[in-house]
Structure 1
Amino acid sequence: MAQPLNITLTRPDQGTSWGFRLQGGIDFSNELSVQMVNPGSIAELSGLRAGDGILMINNTNTDSLTHEQAKMEIIRSGNLINLLIQRGAVTIWKPQVTPLSELRPSELKPIISATGDEIVAVQKTSLAKEKPDEICTIGSSHNRSARPFGAGGGPPSPNSGPSVVHSQFNTPIGLYSAENLAKTYVDQTASVRDNVANMNVSGQTVGPSPVHPASAPAIANDRPSGFRSVTAPKTDFEAVQKQQQLIQSMHCGGCDMLVTGVFVKAGGKPFHPGCFKCVTCGVGLKQKGYFVIDEKLYCEIHARRHAQPPGPDMVAVPVYR
């Protein structure tokens, strides 16, 4: 590993870009490093390279800095930054780009877009890694072809025969071969086969054996023990009638429809909120008071008109309860 280097970046004013991009940080579980350096920028002229690990920013250790904290530390530096870097600490992978002049004629065919326009390729970009690792572990490489289970990782020896690559991957077809099925059947019927082999059937009577009186089931009330009488369920007409009365009592006093959800109860009858109104003028009676005359709702004005005084010399007066 190369020795750490001190690099100082200066610029004339804050309107000039440093010309490099950071990557990593403690929040990315990766060390802080330089991802890209613009050609001809202040960072390139100062000696900063892509892949340099940043150990310190202005005497501030970057081991515990997040990506955003590292950016703020650079912004607070103004026009002068002192960086302690580790040359080549991080490998920066880039896609392989082939210029138009190196493409084959078959690869220069125009591409028809969704709008019908023809697009001519100017370069070819490959995301494949140039040289695969000698030893591949999970997470250490990318874009690798799947290989069947049991296939060796190294090249075949010169004295070994041709290697056979199976097309099945972790297939259970071997569990259902004829040999396995026969072995499973023999193992499961072994106990039955042993019992039949040791059974002595000579002198045994064929047919149902007589039942000894002592072992006969007890009979009580002309019915064997262990049995009980089962009768058809009886309908509770009283409960059904009560349920019907309850359903009937939940019909709206205004529209005679079944009341569900929120309702208003007046005079012992439920009303829909929209039906709780005066039958004459249709004004809503909620929080205004109501009068029940002949099982109908009225406001105070129309209740005076429809109410009949008990005597000729009497006047109907509204009474709120």
Structure 2
Amino acid sequence: MSYNVTLNGPGPWGFRLQGGKDFNMPLTISRITPGSKAAQSHMNQGDLVVAIDGVNTDGMTHLEAQNKIKSASYNLSLTLQKYVEIKKILKHSLIFFWMFITAPALTRAPVHSYTPGKADPSCRPPWVTDDSFSQKFAPGKTTTSVTKHTLPRGAPAPSPASISAYSSPSIPASSQTPAVARGTIQRAERFPASNRTPLCGHCNSIIRGPFLVAMGRSWHPEEFNCAYCKTSLADVCFVEEQNSVYCERCYEQFFAPTCARCHTKIMGEVMHALRQTWHTTCFVCAACKKPFGNSLFHMEDGEPYCEKDYIALFSTKCHGCDFPVEAGDKFIEALGHTWHDTCFICAVCHVNLEGQPFYSKKDKPLCKKHAHAINV
């Protein structure tokens, strides 16, 4: 269900956008500045931007949406759709901002706005050049995903017995063990012979002696073997893959993906990001070196950064209100600082100095009338 929000101007509005036609993503709210006009209007991070001042955003690029917001004469009207209703169709949780600021002369205060830089196509990041890149992830989901692999050449296809060991309809749902992450290393547990006579998960015959228990089923020890090299898995670790079991060596050789950072095989949980696979401990912030886990990250100059370090290193704050200068906001550079255009005012009478001659005292701008004010 869509809802309408009207923000009383002038800016800054206090929110950031992500996506656009050029990113193959719907335009969504990527961040709300606490205490801002957007926050006071109960806008939510992740909400889809359906229309800006009555203009549908379906065909808008990121820059066109920014310019539309920037051109709002006074009030800004937005039509939004709740995140909970659109999270199934949004396929990417990465947020990318490109900020380029040019330094103006200090005699007057000209107004700038963010515009994306032009880059050589060969240097453009994959989330721009790859049409399917934005279709791989969803906000709120983990940054890991399961990838289906084909059997290695020469490896035997799973037998009907091995398939039934995992998905037999005759097995009650209550007896099934919880699914484990792909690549998880497991080990069978041995049990001595007893009055219990379980069925073997491989041959479906009654076991009348010692047996193994693995993956919620029982097995003859001599029949619990690697599907490729036939090595016994009775007393060694194994990995389940495509309804078959493999020794660690065969799984590593045929199925395990390679980490983009350390270039070793990944056994266990796999992180999928930037069209590559990583150990969860290898995909880390370029600044603090901490793993991202399931957290969002920002890209800058081809490197990933956590939210905290990205803001500290790359965001620009207004010297007047100390709020960030958001994408699409008009801003001014003067007195060695960056200001929202509405925050660059006389420190005494608060008249706006945008495009006007001004003076400064104690690092504060003053209009001509108060240029010689004593108490500033």
Which of the two has higher C-alpha Rg? 1
TM bucket normalised to smaller? 0.3 to 0.5
In the superposition, the TM-score normalised over structure 2's length comes to 0.29
